[in-house]
Amino acid sequence: MTELAVDVQGVTKRFRLFKEKHRSVKERILHPGRVEFHEVWALRDVAFSVPKGSTFGILGHNGSGKSTLLKTICGVLQPTHGQVVVRGKLAALLELGAGFEPELSGRDNVYLNGAMLGLKKSEIDAVFDDIVAFSELEEFIDTQVKFYSSGMYIRLGFAVAVNVDPEILVIDEVLAVGDERFQRKCLDRVREFQEQGRTIIFVSQSPEQVRMLCESVVVLHHGEMIFHGEPSEGIRIFRERLNEMGEHHVGAATDETLDASPAPPVQAPASILSVRAGDPATFGAVATGGPAAISVTLQSSLAYDEASVLVEIISPLGISLARLDSAELGHPVVIQPGTTVLTMTIPHLPLLDGHHQVNVGVSARGEHPLYLWQEQAAAFEITYAGKAEGLVALEATVTATAN
């Protein structure tokens, strides 16, 4: 029987939003009676389990309940109904600045956060230097954190979370705030934790990161869990829901707002009928370095003068190798009412052999905006006759100069 690290059992969370509040005793006397409020259901009957040693992803649009769910798992919020069972020491990196006391220095906040995680002072002493080194804040560790930038907050928070030896690590979308180099450093530490068999719950604004790191995902939509399973299918459903809401981008912002009333689905004016990928002439296998084409057959009820074809190529290991946007490349396309075939051609594809997946999309702005997206819409093989290893075939020259 699989041992569970986290078990979320029918969790529902309700908030009361008051229209106005009494600010003084005088106001209470002059305006007796109950203050009007309306109820917001941030989560409704959410249930799933996270096996010990797995990496679990959570996806959802702004206001879907992701942060509320994480706070419930971490014990920051108590559910209105249901319960969460956590087995093991948990460390969490939630929204920016959570758990920090602005008036204290970075040093004092390290000890404060460690104490909140149940560590003794001697245990914090043992890892303090590692925390500071990972955060790269040696020069500012004795500065009050109210003077820290958002990136410095993230550095210190993540450094504490990953150096207190947690059995369960919970990471919210805050990694988007750090610089690219530090993000890579954090992701490397996440991979170390995976190799060590620790449990990770991961919320990211990047579906590609979720696909690369997570073994299973849940998708939240207006507080309800609409999917639990394989990452690729979860990402497809997540992007489809963004389309229904009229969103024109894939990423989500780093914070949430509560939403009491779900928006009605928007009827898309177009649909993708079929997708083919491969050699431009045959749509068969592509030779390394040769041309490749991705062809999308679209049915539309409207005309679009400046639309864009979106193509993402996924390696056999599930890594996003390239994401192309025809408009950004200077090649917008015209869509006519009826059936249109949109073809993106890549003159030289330097990938090595393997079975590659293709995600595709079509977008257009205007009075009737369009955003279509399909995960794993097509696949193609790449054949390579050489002996090079890796993901891509690179050309290089070598010179030797006597010194």
For the stretch 70-81, pLDDT in tens is 889 988 889 999
Answer left, alpha or beta for residue 222, where phi above 0 means left and psi between -120 and 50 means alpha.
left
Task: Give burial (CB, 10 Å; 0-12/13-18/19+) of 53.
Answer: middle
The reply to whether 61 and 108 lie within a common domain is yes
Q: Average of pLDDT values for 245-250?
A: 45
The reply to whether 143 and 179 lie within a common domain is yes
Phi, psi angles (nearest 5°) of residue 224: -110, 145
The rounded mean pLDDT for the chain is 84
CA–CA distance, 146 with 105 (Å, rounded to integer): 8
Does 93 reside within a domain? yes
Does 324 reside within a domain? yes
**CA dihedral of residues 108, 110, 115, 116 (deg, nearest 10):** 110
- Residue 283's pLDDT is 93
- Residue 19's pLDDT is 63
The reply to whether 136 and 43 lie within a common domain is yes
The letter for the amino acid at 120 is K
CA–CA distance, 162 with 189 (Å, rounded to integer): 8
Does 330 reside within a domain? yes
The reply to whether 15 and 159 lie within a common domain is yes
Q: What's the structural domain count of the chain? A: 2
The reply to whether 325 and 230 lie within a common domain is no
For residue 326, the enclosing domain spans 270-383
Instruction: Look at 85 and 206; give whichever has higher pLDDT.
Output: 85
* Cβ neighbours of residue 364 closer than 8 Å, sequence gap 6 or more: 304, 306, 307, 308, 335, 370
Q: Which of 13-17, 193-197, 359-363, 365-369 shows the lowest mean pLDDT across its residues?
A: 365-369
The reply to whether 36 and 105 lie within a common domain is yes
The reply to whether 219 and 320 lie within a common domain is no
pLDDT in tens, 158-171: 888 888 888 999 88
- pTM equals 0.66
Residue 291's CATH number: 2.70.50.60
* Terminal Cα distance for the chain, rounded: 65
Size of the chain, expressed as the number of residues it contains: 403
The reply to whether 134 and 15 lie within a common domain is yes
Q: 178 is written with which tokens?
A: 């750090």
Q: 140 is written with which tokens?
A: 């500012």
Does 231 reside within a domain? yes
- Residue 142's pLDDT is 93
pLDDT in tens, 265-291: 445 689 999 999 999 999 999 999 999
Q: 300 is written with which tokens?
A: 């539309």
